[in-house]
Structure 1
Amino acid sequence: MSEDLSTIHKPIGNLFEPIKDKSEWNKFKLSEKEIEEFWRDGYLLNKQVLTEKQCDQILEDYRTFLTNKEPPKKDLLYEFHSNQSGDPDNVLMHCLGHWRITENFHDIVFMPSVVVPASQLLEQGHLIPVRFWHDQLFAKPPKIGGGVAWHQDYSYWTRTKPMKHLTVHIALDDQSEENGALHYIPGSHHWTRDGGKPLPVTDFNFKDMESIQTILTEEEKVAFKPVCGRLRKGEASFHHPLAVHGSYGNRSERPRRAAVLNYFADGVVSNTDEELLKGSLIPKGEKMDGNLYPIVFDPKWTE
């Protein structure tokens, strides 16, 4: 197998300056107002996590996956779709597992500006140990960029439990309605089925944006009022694993490239005897840990 960066559980490049003093972690904490906003709406928008220079550095690695239908070290990726929709007029590059391949995608997983807020939001403001789940790339080229159907992330992740997960969507380009920014449904993180289960997935291939309407209750349809998550380059949105979100196609002259990081609280266990990610087997009921699920933040580091 190709060299696998998942065996290294600390930054290895120059994407950001390492923390030198324990007190430095505190500057990345969210305010009480931001935490309240997240738990009220199910998401938090416009949190600056990268500088423009850092975005450009990451985009250099991004091009490796955009310009190759068979990217290098593909055996390390969990998934790679040069166009997941299969429609040449609605192109969506989608990739998982790239943190195992390039330095910048590896190191962004450990960014203090990301992992400290993640820790707080997983436990309603309290700092807890956080593990990495998996990463994603979503790229929508100008004019023909495809959409992503409305969904809840935990609908794809019930192979783990309990539901103590978080998604961080980082804009590497300015995102607007015109180029396919994420949209959220405020309050939809309370929408469940059968005693707390997530909504079923209605479109695995990102072709039918509005397919979710077929499974919503009348009350949910009334509350279905999308909010565009406009982000500037380097800003992130943090969202709850049950927050309903999706994104329309890109018909603008600008690209829309995003890096997505998914985390869970230390202590989450496997809920299946099948693969969790390609090549990753943890028996049902056993704790999620090992090379692929490193601790990225621990409150004891601040003490």
Structure 2
Amino acid sequence: MAPTMKDWSTVEKPSGGLFAKNTSNWDDFQLPEDRVKEFWEKGYLTNVPVLTSEQCDQILTVYQQLADESDQFPGYDLLYEFHSNQSGDPDNVLMHCLGHWRINQLFHDLVFLPNIAVPSSKLLNPTEDRSVRLWHDQLFAKPPHHGGVVAWHQDYSYWTRTKPMMHLTVHIALDEQTLDNGALHYVPGSHKWRKDGEPLPITDLNFKDMESIQTVLTEEEKALFKPVPSLLKKGEASFHHPLMVHGSYGNRSEFPRRACVVNYVADGVISDSNDPILQKTPVVPKGEKLSGQFYPLVYDPLWATAK
């Protein structure tokens, strides 16, 4: 049993652990309009610098402690999920974690990072800037030589317990991502494949099978299935649409491949379930909006106009 500790979800603002708390000019973090246009055309953006090498190293120190100590790490019981190897295959290891913003100051502050929270306002909806709330965070780690895959999928396929679909994923590379170590790949334009906006069925829950998605694609979609690697540098992020088809191959390099993911929703997204939206959190009754302790506001466009 891990020792108890402060629940950082009770702190609904940055603490100054990862970056300075005060932001003098929110507009400094906005994306250029051509990059916003690129996002809506392709369904993703890559190679956006968001963390310094020093910040990555700070996070990696805690990241490795959590990976090594797992259920002995202080606050472990607050995590929504922790899988030391979600594939179950010792030759294809994938550590996957959710909810770590609750157990450590650096992880907590990362979800409030203006470098990712502010750009997300323009990427959550094509017609207007939106206030941004945390949905949940994730960690993915692929060890050297036998790191596992993340099968092709769309994030919203896992998130239909909330609506409307105003979600966004930010994937932050803590190590350089290469073709050898399992870089994230995207299928450009796949966010527009289904005109009704319905996500594809989930075809792999075990983080093993890179081919199963082909069983649910139309012939036209199969012809358009042309993945592109993101090849993120250390400290760079990619932003992707909730219907973007993406995945990553195994790590067969001599170096680890570790990443933090922050998932956001537009303020106003509601629960579509009477079950807990996230494990170890209270029920948000169906029809009520996500807000409060576990879904804090990380950016409001009005902050940029306040003087």
Q: Residue 70 of structure 2 contacts residue 76 of structure 2 at CA under 8 Å; is this kept in 1? A: no
User: Could you say what secondary structure the match of 1:68 adopts?
Assistant: helix
Which residue pairs with 1:99 in the alignment? 101
Structure 1 residue 196 displacement after superposition: 2.5
Is residue 19 of structure 1 aligned with residue 22 of structure 2? yes
Structure 1 residue 66 displacement after superposition: 1.2
Structure 1 residue 237 displacement after superposition: 0.3
TM-score if structure 1 supplies the norm length?
0.96
Q: Which amino acid aligns with 1:17?
A: A
Which residue pairs with 1:174 in the alignment? 176
- Counterparts of 1:39-118 in structure 2, within 5 Å, are 39-70=40-71, 71-118=73-120
Which residue pairs with 2:129 in the alignment? 127
2:13 aligns with one of 10, 22, 38: 10
User: Could you say what secondary structure the match of 2:133 adopts?
Assistant: strand
Rounded to whole Å, the distance in 1 between the matches of 2:40 and 2:238 is 13
Which residue pairs with 1:215 in the alignment? 216
TM-score if structure 2 supplies the norm length?
0.95
Rounded to whole Å, the distance in 2 between the matches of 1:298 and 1:148 is 33
Structure 2 gap segments, 5+ residues each: none
Is residue 201 of structure 1 aligned with residue 202 of structure 2? yes
Is residue 141 of structure 1 aligned with residue 143 of structure 2? yes
Rounded to whole Å, the distance in 2 between the matches of 1:99 and 1:63 is 15
Rounded to whole Å, the distance in 2 between the matches of 1:211 and 1:266 is 34
Which residue pairs with 1:163 in the alignment? 165
What is the RMSD of the two structures over their aligned residues, measured on CA atoms? 1.2
Structure 1 residue 243 displacement after superposition: 0.1
Rounded to whole Å, the distance in 2 between the matches of 1:4 and 1:192 is 40
Rounded to whole Å, the distance in 2 between the matches of 1:248 and 1:146 is 7
Structure 1 residue 73 displacement after superposition: 1.8
Is residue 267 of structure 1 aligned with residue 268 of structure 2? yes
User: Could you tell which deviates more after superposition, 184-193 or 3-12?
Assistant: 184-193
- Residues 168-211 of structure 1 show CA distances to partners (whole Å, capped at 9, x for unaligned) of 00000000111001000000001338x33100100011011111
- Residues 77-121 of structure 1 show CA distances to partners (whole Å, capped at 9, x for unaligned) of 110000000111100000000000000000001001000111111
**1:93/1:258 Cα in 2 relative to 1: closer, same or farther (>3 Å)?**
same
Q: Which amino acid aligns with 1:10?
A: K
Rounded to whole Å, the distance in 1 between the matches of 2:255 and 2:126 is 36
Structure 1 residue 20 displacement after superposition: 4.3
User: Could you say what secondary structure the match of 1:67 adopts?
Assistant: helix
Q: Which amino acid aligns with 1:12?
A: S
Which residue pairs with 1:188 in the alignment? 190
Q: Which amino acid aligns with 2:32?
A: S
Rounded to whole Å, the distance in 1 between the matches of 2:231 and 2:83 is 25
User: Could you say what secondary structure the match of 2:129 adopts?
Assistant: coil
Rounded to whole Å, the distance in 1 between the matches of 2:11 and 2:239 is 25
Q: How many aligned residue pairs are there?
A: 300
User: Could you tell which deviates more after superposition, 250-259 or 8-17?
Assistant: 8-17
User: Could you say what secondary structure the match of 2:35 adopts?
Assistant: helix
Which residue pairs with 2:296 in the alignment? 294
User: Could you say what secondary structure the match of 1:135 adopts?
Assistant: strand
User: Could you tell which deviates more after superposition, 78-87 or 60-69?
Assistant: 60-69
